[in-house]
Each structure stands twice: as structure tokens, then as C-alpha cells.
Amino acid sequence: MMKKILMTFIILSIILPTLCFADDFLEETELDNFLEVSNEVTNSAKEPITNSKNIVALDRKSLTVLYEKNAYKQVAMASTTKIMTAILVLENCDLNETVEFSKTAANVRGSCLKVSTGAKMSMNDVLYGLMLRSGNDCAIAISEHIAGSVEGFAELMNQKAEKLNLKHTHFVTPHGLDDQNHYTTAYELALLTDYALKNEKFKNIVATKTTTIHVNGQPRTISNTNELLGNLNGVYGVKTGFTFNAGRCLVSSCKQNDMDMIVVVLGADTKNQRTRDSINIIHYIYDNFEYVNLSNYIQESFSNYQTYYEKNVHLYKTVTKPTIDCSKLDNYDFPLKLNSVNSLSTKFYTLKELSSHIKPNDKIGCMTIYYENKILCSTDIILTNELQPNDWFFYFRKTLGEFNRSFSY
């Protein structure tokens, strides 16, 4: 009996380290089951039923959040980390460079391309190994090649996150194995993904289902871990992930007709769950949202306020009638729920007093558009003309008028 217990302990001690960081290759749900799940869609008229802990759906055209669940909470991100790793490769490397795998890279735990120490590959092929096979060994090799060490590469990752204004994202590793100081939010991960997808090479890589790479000149075929790619209409990326702390993670990009969105699902208990949640959200968005051009609504709202403001603003040391305008938006198409335009509202915030110290094109306020009581977009309100300071003759007349009024008493 003791021998059996000891043997079981030995086997578990060998298997568990692999399971802890399996990252999509020891999942409990096979693709056949996924295809059945894809038809199990909740009532599209209501918000989807989701079980994953942290979710966001982001419209790429307007960067509007269409659905969220704990989207702003800092959490572990597992191998979705590799989206940032890939960005730094594409922005800092020639993809024809040769990458040599160190002992550290070759021996890293978790999901790997499984190459030996000293193996050589082109950076292009390493990038495919990183994003399709989710190779932790590729991530280490990349960090050492670019920055000399994992720590040095993490500094570059955090510098890039700062430039992208990702205030609740911090990196410690290039692969995403669990560390309490390695985190993001579903919302910021969606923003990072949107940035990455603007790079055509990145977009092409994550849209690749299967490809052939070369290790030491020898061909090897690898497949994408993304279970939605090629199996759900419109999905064209992006990245999977799994650690015990992060749970099952999936970042998806999907475009149907003219609506392009990113769905981030973090903290799912099972692969089945992350798949089902992603599908339900995608169906919910496409069944219930449409683009509405708000240019006329914004212009009409502003024109009404413009008339009011120019009549009621208090002028100080100037009598020049002010004229104002609102700055132009880069995009006027916003995804709204069907037949919900009446849920729009507008608020204005402007200076109560204007003086000649304020110059043309200076910002004097803003107009904010709300949808269902949440901020949809904002635009600056600017002064468009020059306010001439009052001259000596103005003050002479004013003094004379006050004198006449006093005299009349």
C-alpha cells in the first residue's frame, strides 16, 4: 500500500508542474465540443450570461465599451502577455535576424516550442512560435535577444505600457507565468490588442491557423491555440492563455460587416467556459448593436448651446461678442443598441466669464455626449475669435455715463 502511495506521489510531482503552466494544450474540452457549444447562444435581446470573472467587449472604431464585467480590475493575464512581447519584436527587430536559444530559454516550463539549447531560428519563425504555439521558450529567447535578459525586456515592456497610457498594467516576464507583480485589466488588454492589430504583420500572424517554421533549418508545422479561429465567422485573432492564477484566458478579434471588435475573457474556470462566454458576447453584440452617425446630433446640440452661451456669457474687460465652436472628432460612428437613440444626452461645461486674455483656439470648455448615462465621447469647445481689450475711449464713455447718472439724482 505504501509503495502505491509513494508511486502516485512521484507521478504527480512530475505531472503537476506541467499542468500548472500548460497554456492550452492540456485542456479538458476538445474542439468537437466547442463546435457544439457555438450553437448554445443566450437570448440575444438580453445581455449574455457569462461565467468568466473579467470580461470586456471593445468596439475598435470608437473604442467604446459594449459589454463589461469587472473589466477594470487588476488581474493575472497568463500568455496574453505575449501580445506585448510580439509588439516589441515588431518594433525593435529585423525579422530576418537569427535567434539562438539559451539553456534558460530551452528549459523554461509550461507551453513551449520544445527546442534544444543552442537551437537557431529566424526571428520571424520565433514570432510565429510565440503567438501560435504560445512558446514560453520563444518568449525567453526573444527577451534575451532584444534586451539581454528577462528583467531588461520587462523594463521595455513597462516603458511601452506607459507610452500607451496603460496605468493598471505591469509586466515582469515576457511569457506571463504567474507573478503577483504581473497584471493587467481586461479593458487595458483590449486597448493593447487594438494597438497591436494596427500592425499588419501582427494581424497576419494571429490570423494564421497553421504554418511551417524552421528550427536549425528543419521544417516543423505548428498550429494556432485559438479555438475560435476558423470556427466562428469573422474571428481573425488573437491569443489564448492559461495559468492556475489567471484561469483560462482568451483575447478574440472579430469583424462582421463593418463592425470590428475585441473581446477579452479572463479568469474562466474551464476552456469550455471561456469559449462559450466569448461566443455569447460576440453574438450578443452583432445581434443588438448598430453604428449610428452622431455628427448631426452633436452639431444640433452644440448649435442650441452656442446661441445660449454667446448671449449669457459674462464679458470682462472686453465688449467683443465671442464666437465659439466645437473641435472635430476623428470618428462620428458609434455602436448603439438598436432603436436606442433616445438614450443619448448632452452636457456642457464652459467658462462663465471670458476676457481678452483668452486667445482664439483656446479651450473654454467641453461638450460630453452620454449614452445610457455613461460617457460616450467628448469634444472641446474653443473660442474662435479675438476678444479685443477695452480701450481708453470705452472707459471714458463708461465714466461719463456714471457721472451723468450721478448728476441726474
Residues annotated as part of the active site: 79, 82, 134
Which of 65, 6, 51, 76 has the alpha carbon at shortest distance from 187? 65
Q: Which residues of 12-22 are buried (b: 16+ CB within 10 A; e: fewer)?
A: eeeeeeeebbb
Q: How is residue 320 annotated by DSSP?
A: P
Residue type, 261: M
Interatomic CA distance for residues 240 and 343, integer angstroms: 36
Q: Is 38 helix (H, G, I), strand (E, B) or coil?
A: coil
Q: Which residues of 188-205 are buried (b: 16+ CB within 10 A; e: fewer)?
A: bbbbbbbbbbeeeebeeb
* DSSP string for 197-238: HTSHHHHHHHT-SEEEEEETTEEEEEE---TTTTTSTTEEEE
Q: Is 393 helix (H, G, I), strand (E, B) or coil?
A: helix
Neighbours of 278 (CB within 10 A): 28
Cβ distance 223 to 4 under 8 Å? no
Residue 83 grid coordinates: 501580445
Interatomic CA distance for residues 180 and 241, integer angstroms: 17
Residue type, 314: H
**Beta-strand relationship, 324-326 and 374-383:** antiparallel
Q: What are the beta bridge partners of residue 263? A: 57, 252
Residue 174 grid coordinates: 515576457
Cβ distance 192 to 84 under 8 Å? yes
Neighbours of 313 (CB within 10 A): 17
Neighbours of 403 (CB within 10 A): 10
Interatomic CA distance for residues 284 and 280, integer angstroms: 6
